[in-house]
Amino acid sequence: MNALWIAVALVVAGFVGWPVTWLVFRLARTIDDKADAAGREQAADDASGQDPSADVTVDAPLPADPPTLTSAGPVQGQEERGQSVDGELTAAGGRPPSDVPRPEGAGQVTPGRPASGQRILRGGAIIGVLERLGVAVAILTGQPVAIAYIVAIKGLGRFAELKETPVAAERFIIGTLTSMLWAAGTAAIVKVYFLN
């Protein structure tokens, strides 16, 4: 009978957890949308009362062609915009780092947002199921320390993507916490009430 309850706990924790996570993502998006709308209304109200002498810094528009290196070192066209510091090259604002691949013909990439058509956190559904199964097994076997290994592996695997994209980091945190709470709660309930 214990094997049946363990199987039920694993199925519910692993596979019923994705609709729960999806609902939490929808709730978070709804809350963000409402906060954004309230922020826009607040900004519109505050716009009329702004101090015209406030210090506002606006970057100069970027050239259509990317800058080129000169033999002197600094980037042509960057000196007058303050993009060269102590003879060191710095990236122009609003452009991705040079080591980030961009699709051919893609326009300017907004920092913190993926390029159009680029999915953030690929494989998240499969990783989420495996994470929930791992957490449930850790609780059912009485080894909650294994949960730390699961979090570490998941965090290290996603580190580069989370570092580059704040939207991905937020989604990662929400998804991980929801999945772990669901799996731990399911496993704990089965362990306490149905297993000896």
Supply the pLDDT for residue 112: 52
Supply the pLDDT for residue 168: 87
20-33 confidence digits (pLDDT tens): 999 999 999 999 89
**Terminal CA-to-CA distance of the chain, rounded, Å?**
10
**Residue 42 pLDDT class (50, 70, 90 cuts):** confident
Supply the pLDDT for residue 66: 53
Q: Hey, CA dihedral for 96, 101, 107, 113, is it positive or negative?
A: negative
Question: Locate tokens 């994470």: which residue?
Answer: 131
* Cα separation values, 130 from 11, 75, 125, 136, 160, Å: 11, 48, 9, 10, 21
Residue 18 gets which letter from DSSP?
H
Structure tokens at 110: 């907004």
**Residue 56 pLDDT class (50, 70, 90 cuts):** very low
Cα angle vertex 62, ends 56, 64, to 5°?
A: 160
Q: In the predicted model, is pLDDT for residue 43 greater than 60? A: yes
User: What is the domain partition of the chain in residue ranges?
Assistant: 2-32+120-193
Supply the pLDDT for residue 30: 92
Who wins on pLDDT, 34 or 59? 34
**pTM, entire model:** 0.61
104-163 confidence digits (pLDDT tens): 555 454 555 555 555 677 888 899 999 999 999 999 999 999 999 999 999 999 898 889
Who wins on pLDDT, 86 or 177? 177
Supply the pLDDT for residue 153: 94
Contact in structure between 165 and 113 (CB atoms under 8 Å): yes
Percent of the chain with pLDDT over 90: 43
